[in-house]
Structure 1
């Protein structure tokens, strides 16, 4: 049985229209185009000189959006593509391996440096930048395994500080779920971390979750019943009282309307 020219042309059209996106050559070409598009991104090249080291990360921060756009474009190619799904993730792990193989002291020093840069950004109220540097600090901990008690103590302290600071940044950005998550990570390292508890209580109060706020405040009072804790408790009582008055007024107005309708 011979295939008619029309049938052949139609089959070719179908292949071109629906098959091309899944072909290895087409996919590789798209990926190369994306790499070419973003080839001018600043390369991260830390130096021993502290000023130069800082400058490189400033440049890196300025290119965050481009990096994110690049990743989004690559992810878009991955989505719903049978060829790439069959091949599996081809993420280059070299950077993670390089970080893992660095000495523990160097990774902790890097985390300390990034934390300091994040603190500067918070003072400048540049919360996006602060979040970037705290994230860089937290990344060091993912690949750090202390070898002795001194390193472990430094690791725990720095981790707590970075989680608490990241929680504060996310609070300022009104990303409350992320703020809670970071505060809870700090509490996993130290259940008595008063700053982490304070942030959690503040978010619960922000969300009018009075019972949860009161529960956390009680925890804080047992640890350190300081001025800030008392101020937060006073704020809770005021908001709770106002809420109860407003609620009572709503019910009173509702019953008043019902009585008038009778």
Structure 2
């Protein structure tokens, strides 16, 4: 099975891999650095203990924290510059993962609800229901010809109902668009 990706996605993945490799190299270099040992006097007492090595430790820890923050900033900048979309797509994912039969049933339910709203002359609500039904069908991929025929039938009904609703709202251009 071959997968086609756009050139932008390919370049984005390459840049992410490069960043990951540089981070790993920095980690390896940091681990291989030999820490300088501070020579202590032979006889340590509580008065001649050298505290400078602790100060060096604190400086090293602060430098490590700064490096981590810089790496995180670079990652965020790269991801934000490549993917400006920060929306939550969990609803779309849930809809995509549903079975085709469930989506067709849901579209049929939305069609019926839209008809009820239409008969009550609540045209805006009817449009919302018809649009939701069409969205259900946009994410459905029928596996059999029977399902495909049922999907096509409901889709035509939804478009025609939407056109009739737009006509009653005197939105004639949208009515023509829905009919085509």
User: Residue 88 and residue 122 in structure 1: after superposition, are their counterparts in 2 closer, same or farther (change >3 A)?
Assistant: same
State the match for 2:105 in structure 1: 109
Residue 149 in structure 1 maps to residue 145 in structure 2 = yes
Could you list the structure 1 runs, at least 4 aligned residues long, displaced by more than 2 angstroms after superposition. Answer: 84-87
State the match for 1:94 in structure 2: 90
Aligned length: 101
User: Residue 171 and residue 102 in structure 1: after superposition, are their counterparts in 2 closer, same or farther (change >3 A)?
Assistant: same
Task: Kindly state the Cα deviation for residue 118 of structure 1 after the two structures are TM-superposed.
Answer: 0.5
Residue 134 in structure 1 maps to residue 130 in structure 2 = yes
**Which one has a larger percent helix, Structure 1 or Structure 2?**
1
State the match for 1:164 in structure 2: 160
- Whole-Å separation in 1 of the counterparts to 2:129 and 2:120: 14
- Whole-Å separation in 2 of the counterparts to 1:105 and 1:148: 10
Runs of 5+ in structure 1 lacking a partner?
1-83, 185-262
- Whole-Å separation in 2 of the counterparts to 1:178 and 1:128: 13
- Whole-Å separation in 1 of the counterparts to 2:139 and 2:158: 15
- Whole-Å separation in 2 of the counterparts to 1:123 and 1:132: 14
State the match for 1:180 in structure 2: 176
SS state of the match for residue 125, structure 1?
Answer: coil
SS state of the match for residue 130, structure 1?
Answer: helix
RCO higher in structure (CA 8 A, sep ≥6): 2
Superposition CA RMSD, Å: 1.5
Task: Kindly state the Cα deviation for residue 136 of structure 1 after the two structures are TM-superposed.
Answer: 0.8
User: Residue 91 and residue 148 in structure 1: after superposition, are their counterparts in 2 closer, same or farther (change >3 A)?
Assistant: same
Per-residue CA shift, 1:183-212, capped at 9, x if unaligned?
10xxxxxxxxxxxxxxxxxxxxxxxxxxxx
Task: Kindly state the Cα deviation for residue 163 of structure 1 after the two structures are TM-superposed.
Answer: 0.3
